[in-house]
């Protein structure tokens, strides 16, 4: 543990000698987060808007309640396998930065840098922008945001392949989103305890609201158990089309489950991380899998799957968004149902934005400490003990993405890359077992090597299918470029930065 809360005697002696010599004692992060806070961050970074927004799309792709439940179960099991695998490495290296540190230890600093760069340029900043944007969009349910005139909104800058950047379009909505980012950045700048308190409260609230929706749906809603067996899927045309539809629908589930790795970024601030971090990851994963299955059962009980799919497609055709949860709540609350779901999404996305924003900043802090990013980002506030500069630069870049309006496109392109990193992280368990056999492992992955191997194989199947789907969409003219390959290009754009910082690191290492 690089920054223990209480220094042993040699550490205190060293500190006194440094102070007597006039040297400034480096300020590190404090371990102030317990198991409950770690679980709250792990759950809060996953349960956001996905469970409200994706079920309608998934129902249009695979019109079978039992197969859709299987999608959520399989995606959840694969997520759990990933969690169990990464938990072993997290217990070995309980340091701030999480997966960035794991890649450094497994494959070297170049692989770690590429991951950290991808996290900064869009994976996490784009996710923060997307989640915060959904918060503001839901707030718009209650009042209308101001907009500029048509002349201003039409101002656009064209970027090849990505499309047009329209910074003045929906300026009120974007302004609200940026204010949320700045507010939560300030909150987390002022201390870990304040940010973690918000996370615990809003995680508890979001689970309470979802469970209330489930209970009310089964007690007050006018549903039918027959909906669980009504299916429009036919296997007469062959197994392959159904399998492809299953994989496509799984993309929505994976999007809803995404964020399970984020809590590892806080390893440097969790008490007894070698025990609490793996426990938090497993407890959180079992919790959000259970919550997702329960709310989907409530959805299916109230609305037949083929009706969900039809309503989603009709809304898409008219340029509107469709939330299954709104229809479900309206079945027992009438016109108040929409307000309930809007509040639920506000609570959920507020907590998710807070947690994702807080956790992600630790990656850039860790990179800077390794002298592979802007050096100012390794600074920790002497009073608040938070990585203030990392939080600030993250907030600025996220705000730029919000103004540009390109964060959704960029995030879609990086999903492919994210799963390559997930597979590589799980492979790291096997690599480190060979590379560091004597290293202490407070937690060892259950079912080794089967669990990591199963996750790796599944992740690579998913990556290959995503690439195939992107190529097919490009060849058929449904997409302007191959998203997955462009995602790799975005990651590769960070290589010049690595060469620059690596060269400067070598120069600083040379004695004068």
Domain ranges of the chain: 33-509
Give the mean pLDDT of the chain: 87
Q: What is the CATH number of domain 33-509?
A: 1.20.1740.10
Contact (CB, 8 A) for 351 and 85? no
Of residues 125, 414, 419, the one with CA closest to residue 254: 419
Q: What is the pLDDT of residue 255?
A: 84
SS3 158: strand
Nearest Cα residue to 83 out of 271, 251, 262, 253: 262
CB-based burial of residue 41 (10 Å sphere; 0-12 exposed, 13-18 middle, 19+ buried)? buried
Q: Cα–Cα distances in Å, from 283 out to 35, 84, 102?
A: 10, 11, 21
- Cα of first residue to Cα of last residue in the chain, in angstroms, is 31
Return the SS3 of 159: strand
The predicted pLDDT at position 1 comes to 38
- C-alpha distances (whole Å) from 373 to each of 152, 280, 400, 496 are 37, 29, 19, 12
pLDDT score, position 222: 84
CA distance 15 to 5: 14
Whole-angstrom CA distances from 84 to 44, 277, 285, 359, 505 are: 19, 11, 10, 20, 35
Inter-residue contact 94 to 267 (CB < 8 Å): yes
Three-class secondary structure of residue 479 per DSSP: coil
> How much is the pLDDT for 26?
58
Predicted pLDDT at 2: 42
Residue 11 confidence (pLDDT) = 43
Residues of the chain with pLDDT under 70: 1-27, 161-163, 233-239, 511-512
Phi, psi (deg, nearest 5) at residue 356: -65, -40
Give the pLDDT of residue 237. 60
Residue 249 and residue 47: Cα distance in Å, rounded? 18
Q: What are phi and psi of 258, to 5 degrees?
A: -65, 150
The gap from C-alpha 415 to its chain's centroid, in whole angstroms, comes to 10
Cα gap 298→344, rounded to integer Å: 16
CB neighbours (10 Å) of residue 436? 13
With vertex at residue 75, the alpha carbon angle to CA 45 and CA 343, rounded to the nearest 5 degrees, is 40
* pLDDT tens per residue across span 173-216: 999 999 999 999 999 999 888 889 999 999 999 999 999 999 99
| CA atoms 219, 223, 224, 225: torsion sign | negative
CA atoms of 301 and 294, how far apart (whole Å): 11
Q: What is the pLDDT of residues 450-495, one digit of tens each?
A: 999 999 999 998 888 888 888 887 888 877 778 788 888 889 999 9
Say what the pLDDT of residue 376 is. Answer: 93
CA–centroid distance for 235 within its chain: 35
Residue 12 has what pLDDT? 44
CA 306, 311, 316, 318 torsion: positive or negative? positive
The whole-number pLDDT of residue 35 equals: 93
Confidence (pLDDT) at 19: 45
List beta partners, residue 33.
270
* Burial (0-12, 13-18, 19+ Cβ within 10 Å), 273: buried
Q: Which two tokens stand for residue 228?
A: 């669980």
Q: pLDDT tens across 393-406, in order? A: 999 999 999 988 87
């Amino acid at each position: 543990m690089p920054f223990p809360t209480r220094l042993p005697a040699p550490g205190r002696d060293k500190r006194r000698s440094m102070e007597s010599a006039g040297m400034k004692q480096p300020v590190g992060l404090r371990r102030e987060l317990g198991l409950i806070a770690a679980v709250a961050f792990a759950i809060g970074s996953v349960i956001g808007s996905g469970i409200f927004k994706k079920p309608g799309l998934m129902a249009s792709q695979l019109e079978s309640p039992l197969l859709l439940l299987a999608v959520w179960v399989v995606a959840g099991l694969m997520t759990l396998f990933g969690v169990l695998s990464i938990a072993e490495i997290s217990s070995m290296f309980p340091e701030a930065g999480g997966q960035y540190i794991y890649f450094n230890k497994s494959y070297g600093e170049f692989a770690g840098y590429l991951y950290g760069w991808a996290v900064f340029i869009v994976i996490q900043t784009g996710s923060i922008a997307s989640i915060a944007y959904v918060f503001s969009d839901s707030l718009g349910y209650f009042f209308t945001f101001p907009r500029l005139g048509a002349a201003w909104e039409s101002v656009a800058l064209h970027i090849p392949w990505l499309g047009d950047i329209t910074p003045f379009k929906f300026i009120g909505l974007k302004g609200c989103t940026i204010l949320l980012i700045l507010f939560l950045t300030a909150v987390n700048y002022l201390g870990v305890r304040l940010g973690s308190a918000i996370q615990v409260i809003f995680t508890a609230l979001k689970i309470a609201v979802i469970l209330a929706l489930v209970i009310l749906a089964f007690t007050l809603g006018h549903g039918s158990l027959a909906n669980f067996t009504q299916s429009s899927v036919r296997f007469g045309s062959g197994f392959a089309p159904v399998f492809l539809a299953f994989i496509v629908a799984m993309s929505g589930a994976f999007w809803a489950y995404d964020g399970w790795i984020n809590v590892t970024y806080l390893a440097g601030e969790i008490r007894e991380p070698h025990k609490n971090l793996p426990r938090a990851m497993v407890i959180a994963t079992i919790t959000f899998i259970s919550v997702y299955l329960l709310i989907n059962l409530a959805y299916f009980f109230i609305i037949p799957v083929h009706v969900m799919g039809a309503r989603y497609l009709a809304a898409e055709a008219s340029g509107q968004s469709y939330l299954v949860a709104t229809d479900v709540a309206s079945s027992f609350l009438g016109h108040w149902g929409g307000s309930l779901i809007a509040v639920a999404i506000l609570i959920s996305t507020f907590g998710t934005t807070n947690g994702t924003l807080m956790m992600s900043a630790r990656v850039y802090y860790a990179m800077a400490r390794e002298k592979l990013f802007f050096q100012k980002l390794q600074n920790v506030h002497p009073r608040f003990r938070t990585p203030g500069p990392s939080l600030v630069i993250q907030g600025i870049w996220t705000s730029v993405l919000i103004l540009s309006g390109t964060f959704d496109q960029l995030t879609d392109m990086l999903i492919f890359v994210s799963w390559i990193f997930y597979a590589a992280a799980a492979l790291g368990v096997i690599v480190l077992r060979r590379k560091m056999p004597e290293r202490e492992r407070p937690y060892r992955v259950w079912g080794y090597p089967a669990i990591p191997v199963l996750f790796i194989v599944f992740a690579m199947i998913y990556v290959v299918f995503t690439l195939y789907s992107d190529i097919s969409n490009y060849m058929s003219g449904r997409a302007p470029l191959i998203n997955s390959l462009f995602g790799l290009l975005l990651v590769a754009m960070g290589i010049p930065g690595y060469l620059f910082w690596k060269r400067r690191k070598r120069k600083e290492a040379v004695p004068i």
